[in-house]
Structure 1
Amino acid sequence: MKKIINGLLIALILVAGFSCTKVDNLPGPNAGFKGRIIDKTTSANLITETSGMQIKLEELSYSATPDPQYIPSKQDGTFEDDKLFKGHYRVTPYGGAFWPVDGVELDINGTTSHDFEVTPYLAIKNLTNSLSGTTLTLTFNMVAPIPDGLPQIIDVKPFVNDTQFVGSGANINNYSDVNRITLNSNYSDVVGKTYTLTIPSLKSGRTFYARVGVRVNDSFKQYNYSDIIEVKVP
């Protein structure tokens, strides 16, 4: 009996060992998707911040109602993911400071490229900057490419950082949040007005990067941004 029990134990150990060392032969991700999100009003990339907008992918190869996955944008308005499975997808720009757009269906196989056009809610125009001592002053106007139906404008805000990655997720709070202007206004109340943001007490001898952001009260409350300026404080 003892020999039988020992034999069974050895057999179980061998089976368990074989199960643990079995090679997974399932194929891994074998495709990639990249492109640009383009500002329809300028034909240039819609500048944003890292993850300021996303590409929503819904793989339709196996389901009509799949769980979506997302590719975050880069600050320059491009996106890329090289760890996807090839298949037929519905692809939609999503979660950014632009008017909603319909998705497109396409096949992703190998490295697939596709650009999207969107219309931003607002654009920062006529941005000027001046530095007096350690105080930075930014002046600008806001323009809505599509004014009709624009959600209320929540606020305008300076974003300042010590790297070129600057936005709502990357800024120095003492220079950014405290100097914002709360609006909660309709576009008709702000059109044609010149706004001024003042950022005092920048540290001497440092280089900063600054931009202006404005957001509306939609589902995502992301910012439309100006270009980034470099500020060298003497």
Structure 2
Amino acid sequence: MKNIFYSIALGAAILSASSCKKFDNYDGPDQTLQGTIIDVNTNKPMQSDLSGDAGGSAGTRIKLLETSWSSNPTPLYLATKIDGTYINTKVFAATYNISAEGAFVPLVQPAATPPVDQSQNVEVKGGTTTVNFTVEPLLEVEWVGTPVLNANGSITAQAKITRGTTKTAFQGNLTDVWLYTSPYPYIGSNTNSYDTRYATHLTYSGTTGTALLGTTITITTSLSSGALPKKDWYIRLAARTDYGSKLYNFSDIKLVVVQ
């Protein structure tokens, strides 16, 4: 009787092992997908908000459609960096339709006449695959001169904001300009990424802000909480229009040493 029970148990174990082997034989996500979002006007990486991979509410995100698995795949999204680059080292080897979404003219416009589709069909394999995109930012946000540390402990900066695209359908009115301040060089529109005590927010209604495009805008950090403490501060400019999801375009980040 013991031999019968032993044989039954051994057979079940073999079947279980066989079953696991059959359904757990796929290679893990060991491919690297990387690239750069390039500003068509400057030919440099486009500065971005903190990544919008989780929901597209901010920043740039990379959209993946695994077409080798399904004709109607569920989108996957990858995070991007604030300097306009992205890299993910855990991507499955497969064929993908890849595009990018952010504060720029959409790469895919199915309702346009004629339809626009600047996505890329790419086979990801062999270790590292590089996919770049050239985009038209909604706005260009540039520093004018060097930020100045004032005697009262504030920082004054000057900016020039211009259109990043000539396509009128994507030219909304300028509504917001920010000067963000942070002790860390990772600044975006999320309140956790900058010091709200010293940030300055300029708002405009109607075409008031739009009239300032191409001019020099002066903006100073807030003194509502007093002078900036003596240490290294990173500052960044941001601006947006009322187009679409109202995403921000950004300047690069500058360091100001408060002594």
Give the TM-score taking structure 1 as reference length.
Answer: 0.85
> Contact 2:45 / 2:84 at 8 angstroms: preserved in 1?
yes
Q: CA deviation at 1:211?
A: 0.9
Residue by residue over 1:39-62, the C-alpha shift from the partner in whole angstroms, topping out at 9 and shown as x without a partner, is 000011111233120110111112
Instruction: Give the corresponding residue for 1:196.
Output: 218
Superposed, 1:111-126 pairs within 5 Å as 111-126=128-143
SS of 1:189's partner is helix
Residue by residue over 1:187-225, the C-alpha shift from the partner in whole angstroms, topping out at 9 and shown as x without a partner, is 742223332221133433211000110012234332111
Q: CA deviation at 1:20?
A: 8.2
Q: Which moved more, 1:180-189 or 1:30-39?
A: 180-189
Instruction: Give the corresponding residue for 1:40.
Output: 40
Q: How many residues align?
A: 228
Superposed, 1:1-234 pairs within 5 Å as 11=8, 15=12, 19=16, 22=20, 24-51=24-51, 52-94=59-101, 96-101=102-107, 102-110=118-126, 111-128=128-145, 129-133=147-151, 134-147=153-166, 148-149=168-169, 150-169=171-190, 170-176=193-199, 179-186=200-207, 188-199=210-221, 200=223, 201-234=226-259
Letter in 2 for 1:145: G
Structure with greater proportional strand content: 1
Q: Which runs of 5+ in 1 are unaligned?
A: none
Q: Which moved more, 1:203-212 or 1:13-22?
A: 13-22
Q: CA deviation at 1:16?
A: 7.1
Letter in 2 for 1:157: W
User: In structure 2, do the counterparts of structure 1 residues 11 and 154 end up closer, same or farther at CA, with 3 Å as the change threshold?
Assistant: farther
SS of 1:168's partner is coil
Q: CA deviation at 1:156?
A: 0.5
Letter in 2 for 1:125: E
User: In structure 2, do the counterparts of structure 1 residues 19 and 217 end up closer, same or farther at CA, with 3 Å as the change threshold?
Assistant: farther
> Contact 2:154 / 2:228 at 8 angstroms: preserved in 1?
no
Q: CA deviation at 1:9?
A: 10
Q: CA deviation at 1:89?
A: 1.1
Write the distance in 2 (CA, Å) between the matches of 1:17 and 1:159: 62
Write the distance in 1 (CA, Å) between the matches of 2:210 and 2:252: 24
Sequence identity of aligned pairs in percent?
Answer: 28
Q: Which runs of 5+ in 2 are unaligned?
A: 52-58, 108-117
Q: CA deviation at 1:127?
A: 2.4
Letter in 2 for 1:158: L
Give the TM-score taking structure 2 as reference length.
Answer: 0.78
> Contact 1:88 / 1:106 at 8 angstroms: preserved in 2?
yes
* CA-atom RMSD in angstroms: 2.7
